[in-house]
Chains A and B, each alone.
Chain A
Amino acid sequence: MRGLYVIWLRDVKRFVRARSRLIGSLGMPIFFMIFFSLGFRRANIPSLESLNYIDFLIPGIVSMVVLFTGTFSGVSVVWDRQFGFLREIMVSPVSRTTIALGRIFSGATTAIFQATVMFLLGIALGFNFRIQMLPFFFLSLFLTALVFTGIGIAISTKMKDIHGFQIVVNFFVFPVFLLSGALFPISELPEILRSISKLNPLTYGVDAARWASIGFCEIDPLVDFSVLILCSVLTTFLASYLFNKTEVE
């Protein structure tokens, strides 16, 4: 427990100090949120019926921020490897499982922080949400964060240097985002893509966040939360397992 806290504290401290990175990583989602919600505000998407596009979009963009921040904070293990700091942790008496868990929780913390900033921006843009369901909204974000930080760490154990980072962005993060129903309902997708999106954990994260905040969902919320819990447990185990096996050169 003590080790977990120390690892978590270091990551969070680092995050708080690197303000430019904080602002930089929110740039894209902020523009997405503003321009998509303005550009499509009068669009007529059949499966949305009378729903405002902006209300539909904001839970999607907030979940997207969780996906990005979570995955990248996992992959930042590679930075630590390249700058040597990982070794300092890996020769300490703190167990490898504790190190992996500490990183997953710090990743989830930063992801929730970023998501909250985006959520507040959404409110400024006129987001119409159910305040009494807010705990479920944040629970869905937290579970989504655990899933993707875990995946990020699992990926990082297989990456030798940061050059692989661009591959993760282009071939993992973006497809996961676009196939999650964050920008449009998955029922608008052709049959084959819709089936693929059902295999995407973010689909359930976005749907759960949307159900909690605006009451709109395409999947049963109970299914959403079950899948999220199952996936977060699985990815946490996978990340710890791979982290335990890894050698540090």
Chain B
Amino acid sequence: MKAVVVENLVKDFGNFRAIDCVSFEVEEGEVFGILGPNGAGKTTTIKILITLLKPTKGRAFVAGYDVLKSASDVRKNIGVVFQETTLELEFTARENLDFHARLYGMSKAEREKRIEEMLNLVELESFSDKLVKTFSGGMKRRLEIARGFLHNPKILFLDEPTLGLDAKTRRKIWKYIEELKGSSTIVLTTHYIEEAEKLCDRIVVMNKGKIVAMDSPKNLKAEDRVVIYSSKEDLDLIKKNFGSLIVSEDDGKVELLVKDVESFIPKLFEVAKVKEMSIKRSTLEDAYIKMVE
């Protein structure tokens, strides 16, 4: 069974179309990223999936349940970490987790065990009995991640999990998410390219409410640009073997676009001698900027 299925989803706010005919599927156990600039429709998509907003058109299934017709079954199977804090600030960290565990109907023994586990995971055990209103932004976010995972949801939704956090806290949150990878399907939105690249198995790129690309981060990258300087004979050999990759040639040099440069170089050296070469690696960012422009 697919963890999430989205079919031709449309959401209008008045005259404004926030999502325009979006479709994708998320496999079970996968970390799936929705990448896009601000206002691309990422959060709106997530809010429909977690049953906070109702779609204008189209259908969406989470854990096999229709988000419109079986909203309560969807809610039983998901955990959510929101962009802005949704903690009860007048409660301690432990009370927040306890409230959550009770909402999800966990038994007392189970509650106590999981709360300890999750507090340890996000390294907040020494702050467990402090009021959340005294917490820094990073601590609050860590507590929210602990809470999102507390009831062992089948699918965890993370909306911009590291937005506005400093580099150190960000690394920590990435570490927690990587540790939790595999125990649940994870769907996250982000506008940080390196975050999508580091955490996600697959990503969709959204822009102005539409999906503009969907693949693994590696495949989404553009080709690397390789320039080779060599003798005429060697260049002829290169042209013979890699002709399809060549984009331009000049006296004593050829320029190629290569998808997988790591395996290309050994092959190149088997074929011809190279005097000098330069490689310009493309990044996911280059590909991304091209897509959302």
Interface of A toward B, CB cutoff 8 Å: 2-3, 6, 10, 13-14, 17-18, 83-95, 247-249
| Interchain CA distance A14-B87 in the complex, whole Å | 13
A91-B53 contact in complex given A6-B103, A14-B88, A18-B90, C-beta closer than 8 Å: no
Residues of chain B at the chain A interface (Cβ within 8 Å): 47, 50-54, 72, 75-76, 78, 80, 82, 84-91, 95, 99-100, 102-105, 147
B84 touches A6 (CB 8 A): no
| CA A247 to CA B55, docked complex, whole Å | 11
What residue of chain A has the Cβ atom nearest to residue B88's Cβ? A85
B102 A249 Cβ-Cβ under 8 A: no
For the complex of A and B, 10 pairs with smallest distance between CB atoms: A84-B86, A92-B103, A88-B86, A93-B76, A248-B52, A6-B102, A93-B75, A87-B86, A91-B80, A91-B50
Q: Bound state CA distance, A94 and B95, in angstroms?
A: 18
Known contacts A87-B52, A88-B86; A95/B102 CB under 8 A: no
Task: Check B90–A89 contact: CB distance below 8 A.
Answer: no
A13 to B95, CA, bound (A): 11
Given A247-B52, A249-B47, residue A94 in contact with residue B86 (CB < 8 A):
no
Tell me, in angstroms, the Cα distance from A17 to B75 when the chains sit together.
30
CB within 8 A of A91: which of B75, B85, B102? Answer: B75
B95 to chain A: which residues have CB within 8 Å?
Answer: 13
With a cutoff of 8 Å between Cβ atoms, the chain A residues found around residue B47 in the complex are 248-249
Question: Would you give 30 A-B contacts (Cβ < 8 Å), ordered by A?
Answer: A3-B103, A6-B102, A10-B91, A13-B90, A13-B91, A14-B90, A17-B90, A83-B85, A83-B89, A84-B82, A84-B84, A84-B87, A86-B86, A87-B82, A87-B86, A88-B87, A88-B147, A89-B103, A91-B50, A91-B51, A91-B52, A91-B75, A93-B72, A93-B76, A93-B104, A247-B52, A248-B52, A248-B53, A249-B52, A249-B53
Further pairs besides A3-B103, A90-B52, A94-B103: 13, Cβ < 8 Å: A6-B102, A6-B103, A10-B88, A13-B90, A14-B88, A18-B90, A83-B85, A85-B86, A87-B52, A87-B86, A91-B52, A92-B75, A249-B52
If over half of B's interface residues share one DSSP class (helix, strand or loop), that class is named, otherwise mixed; here it is loop
- A3 CA to B52 CA in the complex, in Å? 19
- Nearest A residue to B50 via CB reads A91
CA of A248 to CA of B90, assembled, Å: 22
> Chain B residues near A84 (CB, 8 Å)?
82, 84-87
- Closest-CB distance, A82 to chain B (whole angstroms): 10
Q: How far is the CA of A92 from the CA of B52 in the complex (A)?
A: 11
Choose from B78, B80, B87, B104 the contact partner of A85 (Cβ within 8 Å). B87
Query: Smallest distance from the beta carbon of A17 to chain B beta carbons, Å?
Result: 5
Q: List, in ascending order, chain B residues with CB within 8 A of A89's CB.
A: 103
User: Which of A17, A95, A247 is B72 in contact with, Cβ under 8 Å?
Assistant: A95
Are A93 and B84 interface neighbours, CB within 8 A?
no
Q: How close is A10's CB to chain B, nearest CB, in angstroms?
A: 6
Given A14-B90, A17-B90, A248-B52, the answer on whether A93 and B85 have CB atoms closer than 8 Å is no
Taken together as a complex, chains A and B put the C-alpha atoms of A232 and B90 apart, in Å, by 30
Cβ contact within 8 Å between B100 and A88 = yes
**By the criterion CB–CB under 8 Å, are A6 and B99 in contact?**
yes
Q: Nearest residue in A to B131 (C-beta to C-beta)?
A: A17
A10 cross-chain contacts in B, Cβ below 8 A: 88, 91, 99
Q: B82 contacts which chain A residues (CB < 8 A)? A: 84, 87-88
List residues of chain B with CB within 8 A of the CB of A86: 86
Q: How far is the CA of A247 from the CA of B56 in the complex (A)?
A: 13
A14 to B95 alpha-carbon distance, docked (Å) = 12
Give every chain B residue within 8 A of A247 (Cβ-Cβ): 52-54
> Can you name the residue of chain A whose Cβ is closest to the Cβ of B95?
A13
CA–CA, A68 to B110, complex, Å? 40
User: In the complex, what residues of B have CB within 8 A of residue A18's CB?
Assistant: 90
Q: What is the bound-complex CA distance between A94 and B80, given in angstroms?
A: 15
> In the complex, which residue of chain B has the Cβ closest to the Cβ of A89?
B103
B79 shortest CB reach to chain A, Å: 9
Cα A19 to Cα B53 in complex, Å, equals 36
Shortest distance in angstroms between B139's beta carbon and chain A's nearest beta carbon?
A: 16
Which B residues touch A85, using CB under 8 A? Answer: 86-88
A89 to B80, CA, bound (A): 11
Chain A residues contacting B100 (CB-CB under 8 Å) are 88, 92
A205 → B minimal CB distance (Å): 31
Chain A hits for B52, CB < 8 A: 87, 90-91, 247-249
Q: Which residues of A contact B72 (CB under 8 A)?
A: 93, 95
